[in-house]
Structure 1
Amino acid sequence: MNNKATKKQSTGLELPDWKIVRVPDAVEALAKIAVEAAFAVHTELGPGLLENAYEACLSRELELRGIKHQRQLPVPLEYKGIRVEIGYRADVVIEQKLLLELKAVDKLLPIHTAQVVTYLRLLKFPLGLLINFNEVLIKDGIHRILNIPRSPGEAWA
């Protein structure tokens, strides 16, 4: 008999408790605002622009909503006690809690998701939104990415 705590997921698979991601309500609220802001930008501009144009306009929408955020935030890599600055930059970070990675591509690829997962691990955030503005319907371009722990000791802030 397995005495470790597990939860059954909708897939029927059982996961140990440490692999279950519980996104804080405050982060969920910020994600909702970010999605609303992305909808506003896409409604106004539509698809077809460059990523940095969407970033600037999304930043303005967040400002209008009173949301503190940073653009092009350096994402440092820490390795065995040293900080490695290698040029990783998060497109938008909201209140040091939520990552927004923006794209304006024909199709999202697995590497785009991997980039978000990497940034979430390095930033120790529970949730990120991968937003592709180059979709006819923006709802098809918004993807929630969770920072799922790889081991029981791994956690996010």
Structure 2
Amino acid sequence: MLTKKYLDDLTYEIIGSAIEVHKVLGRGLLESVYHRCLIEELLYRKINFLTEMKVPIVYRSKVLDIDLRCDLFVEQCVVVELKSVNEMTKVFDAQLLTYMKLLRCPKGILINFNSSNIFKEGQKTFVNEYFSTLPDN
């Protein structure tokens, strides 16, 4: 059963995985490099995920064939979007929130590997209306 505590614990593990990758590689590499290394770290920690998962787009009750993909869909309950940019913009927030809505996912994490400290400035965690309906424990 999905709970807020489970999601919080999983979020801790995901961010910890990103911190480990960042500690080993540092900043300044392409997003694809961090993506591949984060995959390896999640595998090492035995965390289930899908990568480059196609996000279904349903419009007027019709599933459209659109190639929209999220970076990682962890344990089928957390969307993770990766960036390696100088400046985070609101469009990245909007992108993640939209993925969360389309996937009916209660939590999302935006990670920017081009930061000096992942925990303090390189990640943002989002919840939505699906999160608020979950039990605490």
Deviations 1:29-64 (A, max 9, x none): 111110110000000001101111101100100000
Aligned-partner SS, 2:80: strand
CA distance in 2, matches of 1:117, 1:133: 19
Count of residues paired in the alignment = 129
Q: Which residue of 2 aligns with 1:115?
A: 95
Query: Is residue 2:109 matched to residue 1:124?
Result: no
Structure 1 residues 6-155: aligned runs within 5 Å: 24-139=4-119, 140-148=121-129
The runs of at least 4 consecutive aligned structure 1 residues that moved more than 4 Å come to none
Structure 2: unaligned runs, 5 residues or longer: none
Which structure has the greater CA radius of gyration?
A: 1
Aligned-partner SS, 1:39: helix
CA distance in 1, matches of 2:65, 2:112: 27
TM-score, normalised with respect to structure 1: 0.78
Structure (1 or 2) with the greater helix fraction: 2
Aligned-partner SS, 1:107: coil
CA distance in 1, matches of 2:129, 2:85: 26
Structure 1: unaligned runs, 5 residues or longer: 1-22, 150-154
